[in-house]
Each structure stands twice: as structure tokens, then as C-alpha cells.
Amino acid sequence: MPADLKLLIRKLALFFLPFALYGLVIAAIDPYDYFEGPSFFSEESKRPVSLPLNYALWKMLEFRDAPAPNLLLGDSRMMSVKTETIREVAGLDYANLAYGGGSLREAIDTFWFADGLVPLERVCIGVNLNNYSAYDNKDRVSEAAAILDNPFLYLVNLNVLNAAVKLVKAGLTGEPARIGKPVGSREQFWRRQIEVVAREMYANYSYPAVHHANLVEVSEYCRDHGIELVFLVFPSHRDLQDQVAAFGLEAAQERMLADLAELGTVFDFELANEITADRENYTDPFHFEPDVMRKIVAGVWNGDRQFVKVYGQ
């Protein structure tokens, strides 16, 4: 071999060595359990760090390894619905593929992802006015789907790197990573959810024509394939309900319910009642306590109509 060629190979090897070492380290930590085999960290230690950094990647990988025919789709409110509670009440096993901060676009894309892995039987999609809006169009699913098909994309993904760094730091310091935890007092956080988060959502509301068209496609597919399609409108505290009126969106709320009722069965818990009037039932205006979750499960899966209106049956 010519000396200049040997020199070039040596230089290339030195150039690529750091990248190879980086890949080996990420693969050894494997924050999302992408690879088969041992890892430096347990699944129990990875989940609270990796999941909130990329909900879609964690849950889609989990589902790929253990697909199920019954799905829960939506945002953090649907995430809080325990599949164990549904099993206790209805004897049905569901996979929870809802994501924190999840958009309706992500729920629809996740439906098609799941259907590509297993014949579906029952699908429940959480939809409230804040995500039945063209303004809420985030997409983490396409990136996660690409990563599932390409290990190289996994190794260079910034969420994966961030999770790896946080896992190592937590392992060295013994202090768990603080991810997505509210800052300030409960009252301060409550007020911010109303005055900042809800204001941004509702001030920028516009009718989701594309989302609706994509839901029509999902609904027609479900009818053609014998899949039960259910929409769940979660209860929010009346402080948040009042913002719908404050931004003049009552007609948008009614149109959403009418749209969904044409596509499947709608369980509407967004009502004025003792659940939505009491702050003790909520951690913040959007998110309910476990006792309310159990009432929701009873309403959808056990026929209890005390706190719900049902459309489209």
C-alpha cells in the first residue's frame, strides 16, 4: 500500500474516532431503550428522564415492542388516564399513546403508526377546544417514526443526547433530574395557566380545517374496518371554561362537538358541575386529580352518565 494512502487512512481513522466513541457511549447509555442488550441504566431510571424529553419517541418505541389493538390518544390529560383503571372497570387492555403537550395532528399520525403495526379494535382520542385548533400543529411523531427506522438518527438526536447527559449527571450526583416541574406556588402556576397559556391558545384560535379533514379520513377508515372510534372531551376547571366565553369561542366549542359527533361517539365532560367547580379536583385548570380520572373512566367505559353528555350514538 502506498505511504500516502496509509497516511490518509490514518488521518481518516483519527478524524472519525471521536464520532465512533460518541456513538458507542450513547448506545451504551441508550436513554430510550432503542437497542437490545444491556445498558448502564435501568428502565426505571430512564423513564422519568427520557419520557418527558421526547414523549413520542419513548412511547412509539414501547408500542413497537408490545403493540396492542386498543389505543388512548391525546395530550397530558389522556396520559393521566390509567390503563389499569380501564382494565379494572371494563376488562379491556389499552395502550396509552398520549403525549404531554400532544397535538391533534400527533394523535392522528400516531393512529396511522399504530394501525401499521397491529389491527386496531378500539380507539379513544382526547379532544378539547385548545387542541381542536389550527394553531396547535406541533409534530413530534414524524421525527420519532424516522428514528425508529434509522439507528443513526437515534444516535445523533438532540433529545437522546440531552437524556443521556441528564442520566449520567443524575447517576453521578444522586440527584434526580427536574424536568417539566412547575415553578412557583400552586396559585402562581394556576394563574399563569389562565393568563398566559390559555390566553395564547384561545387568542390564536382558528378552525382546524386540515385536522378535521384528517379526522374524517380516520373515521371512515374505522367504519370500514370495524374499529370503535370514541372522542373524549376532558373536564377543565371553570376558570378555564370561562376563557372560552371571554374569547368569544362558544360557537367554536359547539362546532367542535358537532364535528366530532358526526365522526364517532363523543363523551363530553366539559360541563358546569361539582367536578369542574371545585379547585381541589385539579392540579391546575387543565389537569384533574386521580379521583376525577376514575369518574371519567366510569363514564366512558362503565356507563355512568352522572358527569357526562354523550353525542353521536
Query: What are the structural domain ranges in the chain?
Result: 1-65+139-173, 67-135+187-313
SS3 285: coil
| pLDDT band (50, 70, 90) for residue 13 | very low
Residue that wins the pLDDT comparison between 65 and 3: 65
| pLDDT band (50, 70, 90) for residue 26 | confident
Give CA torsion, residues 110, 116, 120, 125, to 10 deg: 10
For the chain, the average pLDDT equals: 89
| Confidence check: pLDDT of 3 > 70 | no
For residues 277-284, give the mean pLDDT. Answer: 95
Kindly tell me the sign of the dihedral angle through the C-alpha atoms of 223, 224, 227, 233.
negative
Q: What's the confidence (pLDDT) of residue 8?
A: 46
Q: What CATH superfamily classification does 67-135+187-313 receive? A: SGNH hydrolase (3.40.50.1110)
Q: Which of 4-13, 14-23, 211-220, 253-262 has the lowest mean pLDDT?
A: 4-13
Which residue, 286, 307, 272, is CA-closest to 129?
286
Pairing of strands 309-311, 265-268: antiparallel
| Confidence check: pLDDT of 191 > 60 | yes
Task: Please give the single-letter amino acid code of residue 287.
Answer: H
| Confidence check: pLDDT of 174 > 80 | no
Strand locations in the chain (E): 70-73, 95-96, 122-126, 228-233, 265-268, 309-311
Residue that wins the pLDDT comparison between 138 and 173: 138
Q: What's the confidence (pLDDT) of residue 169?
A: 83
